[in-house]
Structure 1
Amino acid sequence: MTFSKIGIIGAGTMGSGIATSLGQQGVTTLLVDTTDEAVQRGLGAAKKFYDRAAEKGKMTAEAAADAYGKLSGSTDIAALADCDLIIEAIFEEFQVKADLFARLNPHLKPETVVATNTSALRVSELAETVDDPSRFLGLHYFNPAAINPIVEVVKGDKTDDAIFERCVAFCRDTAKKPIPCKDAYGFAINRFFVPYGNEAVRLMDEGVGTPAQIDRVAQDCLGVAAGPFVVMNLVKPKIMFHAQRNLGPHGAFYAIADTLAAKGDSDYTFDIGEDASSSTDSDAVIADRLRAATFFPVLQELDEDVATPADIDMGAGLALRFGKAPCELMDSLGKDEVARIVGQVTETYGHAMPASLAKVGSLR
């Protein structure tokens, strides 16, 4: 195994999910949070996962017990001192993470690797808050981390090449499919997935379609297993708000939709209702705009060499359950049609047409 003991900071949904996955792979893992209640809740979620897997015959009772036996918990950040790799999985706010790393720094061994599970913040900026940025990188697991196979491995400006490759190998060793990424807000997958959801809210705000209609069209035009409003209700719209806000530096198209901006951090879900629409004209508009909101960020990140087309499509399929992966879909539609679709974004928001449009037809 690439690392012998892993520390995870944050016992919430993501942290406990990562711990659950690692325990199942036989990795000794320490889960740390600020309260014993949070730690026990995280460990309890892992045990519940293993027990259910055993009940369904997906693992033996002995294997379930062994997996849970690999996990332990603590409320003391100093308990992480003997870990080889520490993964931070706390709230998606730069200053909250920076404050944590400041408290963690005194407890690190010189050889410890530190990773952030951020979904959209710049790894290189967070790296400046640790003592040794060369040993810092992004390991972005996707929810539900216990079963989702995709991990974005993000190389910061100062990340040591050997450590980066070691972490790519670690993901493979623990039954994940790594996507090596250049550091950029949103990385490879949320760079397009979050704007796609944001565009769905814009369409609702503008009265182009209802949430149910938009979800139905998304399932048809992008082959998604569940439409954007269903997904946002599952992960909570306030998470989408924070993720979209983090993408703001990419330009005008990435501005937050009105409803997301107005409700911000509040706890709410969208009322999806029933699809009573019968307008093929509005269906076509929705399909064009959802595809534009997906294609444009993908072409931009291809310009920036964030990730390869094959890896972007793999992430879209395995992490997000897109039945029609963006690069493959653009190739099938052809350069002229993609130019027409993406032109809606460039004309409306004043962005340049991505140079990677020229490669459409042979992206994959």
Structure 2
Amino acid sequence: MAVSKIGIIGAGTMGSGIAIASSARGIAVTLYDVTESQLAKAQGEAATFFGRAVDKGRMSAEEAEAAQGRIAVTGALPDLAESDLLIEAVFEDFDLKARTFESLSPIARSDALIATNTSCLKVSDLAQHVAAPERFLGLHYFSPAQINPLVEVVRGTATSEATVAAALEFCQGTGKKPLLCKDNFGFAVNRFFCPYTNEASRCVDDGLGTPAQIDRVAQEALGVAAGPFFVQNIIKPRINLHAVRNLKPLGAFYAPADYLTRAGEAEEAFDLGSDPGPDAQRDRPIAERLLGATFLPVLEELDEEVAGPADIDMGAEVALRFGRQPCELMDSLGRVEVERLVRPLAERYGAALPKSLERVGSLRS
């Protein structure tokens, strides 16, 4: 089915970003939230975004006015009833999302698609709270959703082929780059991004360096535009802690670090501190830990066939701006070196070495 009007549940950072991205591409949007001030804030963010687009010559004033006019806001859930696609974008809490879908299912059109913007929870678990789960899937946008081009299209165990096809068409029609992946905690991209950021905190816990030093080493080792602590201060440690905690069912390796837990629970930003400057002896252990913590979950998701090497690397480049993508980097390092980096973490946390390790050297061929 063609999607021309969508309903979004939750007018926070992600919901408002999805609304802006969709309306900019001609989609009529109804944005729902229980808080009037949040709806007003979302409208203000849309006005600011489209105003800047005009200032930068990306849109005409008429186009910007039309795009903003395509976003309607409401505090009444039944106002979403005529949507072709409903996207849930509430806080990353399973019970809250489950209750949302239980309220949404009775008012949704029988032929409407229903999606969750969850970043880490299993789509198939949430599908148990949706009427007609064959029309349900994950559409995981990356922040900021109005700019970031990647959307993970997650197929649950009950998701129909028609639902997947319609979702892919919608993403492409709204200027997004879809990454089709199998359902598992963290999907294709957060499956390794969360452990990478978590390992950065473990490096602090183990006294290997300051956040500023670790950020610099990460930039050098993975070619990232910004290090893990700088990025987490943008997305908020509290949000990242919640995402990391949602990966805990995957095993002890995925459990949150103490430093991340403290910052997240206190709802504080990380103090980056000072960087003593490049020193091979100090920096090498940090780089090896960050690389190993990125490679291990990527190899595990390859074993599980969550996504293929090329798609994982595309997600790392497009969504996270990794200058050195995980699978391509592993191929360049070779199996022996990758095993040297991964084995200490696997042994420390009681994880089996992934079978995909044997394919390193030809993952992208």
Q: Same fold (TM over 0.5)?
A: yes
Query: Does 2:128 match 1:128?
Result: yes
In structure 2, the residue matched to 1:109 is: 109
- Counterpart amino acid of residue 36 in structure 1: E
Query: Does 2:189 match 1:159?
Result: no
TM-score by length of 2: 0.98
Instruction: State the shift of 1:178 in Å.
Output: 0.3
Gaps of 5+ in 2: none
Query: Does 2:228 match 1:242?
Result: no
In structure 1, the residue matched to 2:230 is: 230
- Counterpart amino acid of residue 301 in structure 1: E
Instruction: State the shift of 1:130 in Å.
Output: 1.0
In structure 1, the residue matched to 2:205 is: 205
Instruction: State the shift of 1:35 in Å.
Output: 2.2
1:166-185 aligned within 5 A: 166-185=166-185
Cα contact 1:30–1:71 (8 A) shared by 2 = yes
Q: Does 161-170 or 86-95 show the bigger shift?
A: 161-170
In structure 2, the residue matched to 1:294 is: 294
- Counterpart amino acid of residue 290 in structure 1: L
Seq. identity, %: 56
In structure 2, the residue matched to 1:76 is: 76
TM-score by length of 1: 0.98
Instruction: State the shift of 1:279 in Å.
Output: 3.7
Instruction: State the shift of 1:44 in Å.
Output: 1.5
Instruction: State the shift of 1:161 in Å.
Output: 1.4
- Counterpart amino acid of residue 77 in structure 1: L
Gaps of 5+ in 1: none
In structure 1, the residue matched to 2:360 is: 360
Query: Does 2:51 match 1:51?
Result: yes
**Helix, strand or coil at the partner of 2:266:** coil
Cα contact 1:3–1:85 (8 A) shared by 2 = yes
**Helix, strand or coil at the partner of 1:106:** coil
Instruction: State the shift of 1:266 in Å.
Output: 2.7
Instruction: State the shift of 1:350 in Å.
Output: 1.6
Kindly provide the CA deviation profile for residues 95-131 of structure 1, in whole angstroms up to 9, marking residues without a partner as x.
Answer: 0111111111221111111100000001000000111
- Counterpart amino acid of residue 30 in structure 1: T
The 3 A distance-change label for structure 1 pair 278 and 175 is closer
Instruction: State the shift of 1:199 in Å.
Output: 0.2
Instruction: State the shift of 1:261 in Å.
Output: 2.6
**Helix, strand or coil at the partner of 1:128:** helix
Alpha-carbon RMSD: 1.1
Runs of 4+ in 1 over 3 A off after TM superposition: 262-265
How many residue pairs align between the two structures?
364
Cα contact 1:2–1:173 (8 A) shared by 2 = no
Instruction: State the shift of 1:263 in Å.
Output: 4.5
Instruction: State the shift of 1:47 in Å.
Output: 1.4
**Cα distance in 2 between the residues matched to 1:316 and 1:324:** 9
Cα contact 1:292–1:341 (8 A) shared by 2 = yes
In structure 2, the residue matched to 1:335 is: 335
- Counterpart amino acid of residue 21 in structure 2: S
Cα contact 2:239–2:264 (8 A) shared by 1 = no
